[in-house]
């Protein structure tokens, strides 16, 4: 049973560019959440997708957007990259009818230069 997978593992972008990160949820899971983790900090909630709609959103600007596909996989898009967007981006999947636990992927390390 494959867990949560994310791609790419690492990414280097230039300030002002756009980036797309990808996530495949754990088999059977229908909900995907995205988090940003800066160095030395705990993960910060960006948004959550369920039934291809954004269901919840944290305190992040509109430059951060996402999508969920019919197979439950998800993308995180960040436009107009800033140096401060450099972080580990984590995807977590869960089951809407489950007990609430989320399963995290290994993350994508984004560096903005």
Q: Contact 110/87 with Cβ under 8 angstroms?
A: yes
- 7, 56, 77, 79: which one binds another protein (CB under 8 A): 56
Q: Contact 75/67 with Cβ under 8 angstroms?
A: yes
Q: Contact 54/34 with Cβ under 8 angstroms?
A: no
Q: Contact 37/88 with Cβ under 8 angstroms?
A: yes
Q: Does 60 bind another protein (CB under 8 A)?
A: no
Q: Does 66 bind another protein (CB under 8 A)?
A: no
Binding string, residues 15-34; x marks residues near another protein by CB under 8 A: ----------------x-x-
Residue 80 beta carbon to another protein: minimum distance, rounded to whole angstroms: 23
Name which of 112, 111, 113, 109 is nearest 6 in CA terms. Answer: 109
- 15, 98, 111, 113: which one binds another protein (CB under 8 A): 98
Q: Which is nearer to another protein, 16 or 28 (CB)?
A: 28
| Residue 97, C-beta contacts closer than 8 angstroms, at least 6 positions apart | none
Residues forming the site for another protein (CB under 8 A): 4, 31, 33, 35, 41-45, 47-48, 50, 56-58, 90, 92, 94-107
């Amino acid at each position: 049973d494959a867990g949560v997978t994310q791609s790419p593992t690492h990414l280097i972008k230039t300030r002002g560019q756009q980036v797309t990160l990808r996530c495949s949820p754990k088999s059977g899971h229908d909900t995907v959440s995205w988090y940003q983790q800066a160095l030395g900090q705990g993960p910060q909630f960006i948004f959550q997708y369920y039934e291809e709609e954004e269901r919840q959103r944290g305190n992040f600007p509109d430059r951060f957007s996402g999508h969920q596909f019919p197979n439950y996989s998800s993308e995180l898009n960040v436009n107009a990259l800033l140096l401060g967007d450099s972080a580990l981006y984590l995807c977590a999947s869960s089951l809407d009818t489950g007990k609430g636990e989320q399963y995290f992927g290994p993350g994508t390390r984004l560096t903005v230069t």
